[in-house]
Amino acid sequence: MLKNFRKSVLSRYFRFILIGFMLLVMSSLIWNIINVNQQVLQLAELEAQTNLNKDRAFRLWATRHGGAYLIVNEDTKPVEFLADIKERDITTPSGQTLTLYNPASMLREIMHDYSNLYGIKARITGKMYLNPENAPDAWEMKALDELSRGKKEFFKEVILNDGNASLRVMQPMYMEQGCMKCHAWTGLKVGELRGGTDVTIPLGLFDSFKSSSIQNLLVSHLLIWVV
> Which amino acid type is present at position 115?
S
The pTM score is 0.78
Per-residue pLDDT of the chain (227 residues; tens, 9 = 90+): 545 556 666 677 778 888 888 888 888 889 989 999 999 999 999 999 999 999 989 988 988 888 899 999 998 999 988 888 888 999 999 999 999 998 888 999 999 999 999 889 999 998 888 888 889 999 999 999 888 887 667 788 898 877 889 999 999 988 887 777 777 777 778 878 888 999 999 998 888 888 898 888 888 888 887 87
DSSP bridge partners of 200? 121, 168
User: CA-CA distances (angstroms) from residue 39 to 132, 153, 167?
Assistant: 37, 21, 13
Q: Tell me the DSSP string of 124-193.
A: EE-SS-SSGGG---HHHHHHHHHHHTT--S-EEEEEEETTEEEEEEEEEEEPPGGGHHHHGGG-PPTTSE
CA dihedral 58, 162, 143, 36 (to 10 degrees): -80
What CA–CA distance (Å, rounded) separates 6 from 185? 90
- Under a CB-based contact definition with an 8 Å cutoff, are residues 201 and 167 in contact? yes
pLDDT score, position 77: 92
Q: What is the CATH number of domain 10-67+102-226?
A: 3.30.450
pLDDT score, position 47: 92
CB environment 129-147: b (16+ within 10 A), e (fewer): beeeebebeebbeebbebb
> What is the rounded end-to-end Cα distance, in angstroms, of the chain?
33
Domain spans of the chain, in order of start: 10-67+102-226, 68-101
